[in-house]
Amino acid sequence: MKVTELVESFAKPIVEAHGCELWDVEYVREGSEYFLRLYLDKEGGVDIDDCEAVSRAVDPVLDEKDPIPGSYHFEVCSAGLERTLKRPGDFQRFLGSPVTVKLYRPRNGLKEIPCVLKGYADGSVTVEAGKETITFTKSEVALVRLRVEF
């Protein structure tokens, strides 16, 4: 089992007990340091008190279960307004929302396309950009994230 899956398995009930949803678990190397991050979501938004409460509740469990050999930094954050969509359920939840699709290779000279999410199936993302409907295959898409319009 991957570190992120293991951490999710014991952190999710703790996060939910604090009235939040566990949006994502990330374990990444940045420079010479490793970071374990929990991203939270909640109706009405996550605030610093939510992050602190979850951090204090999960930290001792991390010490007890010790899922990561070596040292790392533990952070609890809000998923944010411009969060990345990863799982099929994320895409279903935000159908009709403004998104930015980031591509591995430019299409019509663009690597980032502001659009509206119209569909998701088997890794392919369908969007509406202007009056054009475009479907990107999984192999074309680097990431899809929500886009805030002002």
Q: What is the pLDDT of residues 6-26, one digit of tens each?
A: 999 999 999 999 999 999 999
Rounded to whole angstroms, the Cα distance separating 34 from 69 reads 11
Res 150: pLDDT: 79
Res 149: pLDDT: 83
Candidates 44, 42, 43, 12; CA nearest to 25 is 12
Res 137: pLDDT: 94
45, 63, 78 - which closes a domain: 78
* 50 and 90 assigned to the same domain: no
Angle between helices 3-17 and 48-65 (to 10 degrees): 130
User: What is the tally of structural domains in the chain?
Assistant: 2
* 104 and 39 assigned to the same domain: no
* 90 and 74 assigned to the same domain: no
- How remote is the C-alpha of 131 from its chain's centroid? 28
| Residue range(s) defining the domain that contains residue 118 | 84-146
CA distances for 93 relative to 7, 14, 31, 87, angstroms: 24, 23, 34, 10
Res 1: pLDDT: 78
Res 36: pLDDT: 96
Res 61: pLDDT: 95
pLDDT in tens, 126-147: 999 999 999 999 999 999 999 9
Query: What percent of the chain has a predicted confidence (pLDDT) above 70?
Result: 100
Rounded to whole angstroms, the Cα distance separating 74 from 62 reads 9
* 74 and 97 assigned to the same domain: no
* 53 and 89 assigned to the same domain: no
21, 43, 78 - which closes a domain: 78
The residue-averaged pLDDT of 97-117 equals: 95
Res 56: pLDDT: 97
63, 78, 93 - which closes a domain: 78
The residue-averaged pLDDT of 29-39 equals: 96
Q: Is the pLDDT of residue 69 over 90?
A: no
Name the average pLDDT for the chain. 94
Q: Is the pLDDT of residue 108 over 90?
A: no
The pTM of the full predicted model, rounded to 2 decimals, is: 0.82
